[in-house]
Structure 1
Amino acid sequence: MSNWPYVLYALVLGIISVVTGEIVTFVMLGLILISLQNIHRVLKELVKINQTDTK
């Protein structure tokens, strides 16, 4: 799995946040992105486990 889109999004958000002075917003968005990515990864693992159990 490639993480380069997430790195690109983080860089763009970082540049925008530095220009606008919204550093706290950048940190909060980063935490939300990391949390959502972890939830997505766990859900994909659960689907994979569920599919192998039904076969």
Structure 2
Amino acid sequence: MQGWLYGLYALIIAIISIFTGEVVTFIMLGLILISLQNIHATLKAILKVNKEKID
């Protein structure tokens, strides 16, 4: 997924959070999404290294 798509998701969640008054929830969701993205990138790097070891 591209970076602009993450920005679009963040914008949509931000607009919803402003209308509902849940700004703290927006911040927490942002932190969770950043953490998950970092975990995903790490797992992809590990997979790449493991595939190179097999070949």
Asked whether the two chains share a fold, i.e. TM above 0.5, the reply is: yes
TM-score by length of 2: 0.94
Percentage identity across paired residues of the two chains: 60
Q: How many residues align?
A: 55
1:23 counterpart residue number:
23
Q: TM-score, normalised by structure 1?
A: 0.94
Looking at structure 1, the residues matched to 2 and 31 of structure 2 have their Cα atoms a distance apart, in angstroms, of: 19
The answer to whether the aligner puts 1:5 opposite 2:39 as a matched pair is no
Deviations 1:8-27 (A, max 9, x none): 11000000000110000000
- Structure 1 unmatched runs, 5+: none
